[in-house]
Amino acid sequence: MAASEPRSARPIDVAALAQVRRRLQRAAEPPWLHAEVARRMAERLPLILRRPRTVIDWQAFLGAGGMLLRQAYPQARLLPVEPDAQRRAAAAASARPWWQRLRTPPPVPAPLDPAALVAGQGELLWANMVLHAVGDPPALMREWHRVLAVDGFLMFSTLGPGSLTGLRSLYAEQGWPTPFAPFVDMHDLGDMLLEAGFADPVMDQETLTLSWPSGSALLAELRTLGGNVDPRRGAGLRTPRWRRRLEALLDSAADARGRVALPFEIVYGHAFRGLPRPRVAAQTAVPLDDLRTMARAGRRHP
């Protein structure tokens, strides 16, 4: 699994991260865990009192939330965003023939490059299971802040440090390098949101414990979720013999039903894009667009 700590705290193997992304984008469908977390996130949508006119679905394919957002906001304009060019190309290649598109419009438009989004374009930005798989979360949060309108709402989910603890312990007991890059604590994520310009961040979490019939099945599912991009991971390729040993160790930890379990800490974040707040100094420069926004909101510049 990819990590989400800022680069200044712990570098990520950027080449390995890019390789993992390419592999995930080639999948036929999003991971089951992503779809389940999307369902749980969608249960929180009724808490948002304002009905968004434009909803930005960030990393829409792997986020698995498109249909849920369409059901929750049938009148809204849904903008699926895919930072990965490979996924955008795959969506374009699978588009329906032009004569079918003339008869009935597609339920979801073609995914957009993030660079195509206009500043302040969305009233709701949804990002399911994204942050733990990026190299620079603060930079991504700043981009989310840019494309959200004032008073726009951000909803996201990510993996927290309580995830896969049994796997990390197993590797440590064997003296092996780390199996995955560590995940960021929700309090640190809240601080990042504030630094990115968001207001009133609210963070919470829950732990989902998944189980599999064997260690082999467990490893196969983990591969659909990502890969090890920690620079401290073991160098070189692992042999089939090593793989069989890992599977046997996982099987030895099975419960009375013969199933192997691991916890996943799911962190949920919510925040608003507040009004621009220029710093007050002896001489303060404020962008014209910010002045217009504050004027429309009835707020006077200090």
DSSP-derived secondary structure for 127-161 = E-S-GGG-S-HHHHHHHHHHHEEEEEEEEEEEE-T
In a domain, 8, yes or no: no
107's tokens: 């339920």
CA distance linking residue 164 with residue 39, whole number of Å: 21
pLDDT of residue 94: 63
> 61 near 108, Cβ under 8 Å?
no
> 249 near 215, Cβ under 8 Å?
yes
pLDDT of residue 296: 54
Here the contacts of 241-247 (C-beta below 8 Å, separation 24 or greater) are 243/219, 246/215, 246/219, 247/214, 247/215, 247/216, 247/219
Q: Which amino acid is at 85?
A: A
- Domain harbouring 268, CATH code: 3.40.50.150
Instruction: Give the helix, strand, coil percentages of the chain, each rounded to 5.
Output: 40, 20, 40
Q: Within a 10 A sphere around the Cβ of 21, how many other Cβ atoms?
A: 22
In a domain, 3, yes or no: no
269's tokens: 């974040």
Which segments of 184-251 are extended strands (E)? 198-212
CA distance linking residue 156 with residue 142, whole number of Å: 14
pLDDT of residue 86: 79
| Domains: count for the chain | 1
In a domain, 185, yes or no: yes
In a domain, 7, yes or no: no
What's the distance, CA 102 to chain centroid?
Answer: 34
Strand (E) or helix (H) holding 80: strand 77-81
In a domain, 189, yes or no: yes
CA distance linking residue 98 with residue 95, whole number of Å: 9
In a domain, 5, yes or no: no
CA distance linking residue 17 with residue 136, whole number of Å: 12
271's tokens: 């925040």
* Model confidence pLDDT, tens digit, residues 37-93: 999 999 999 988 889 999 999 999 999 999 999 999 999 999 999 998 878 887 766
In a domain, 4, yes or no: no
- With CA atoms as reference, report the closest residue to 154 among 291, 271, 287: 271
Strand (E) or helix (H) holding 295: helix 288-296
Question: What are the Cα distances from residue 223, in Å, to 20, 187, 220?
Answer: 9, 28, 5
Spans of the chain below 50 pLDDT? 3-8, 295, 298-302
Strand (E) or helix (H) holding 250: helix 240-252
In a domain, 302, yes or no: no
Which range of residues forms the domain containing residue 90?
14-296
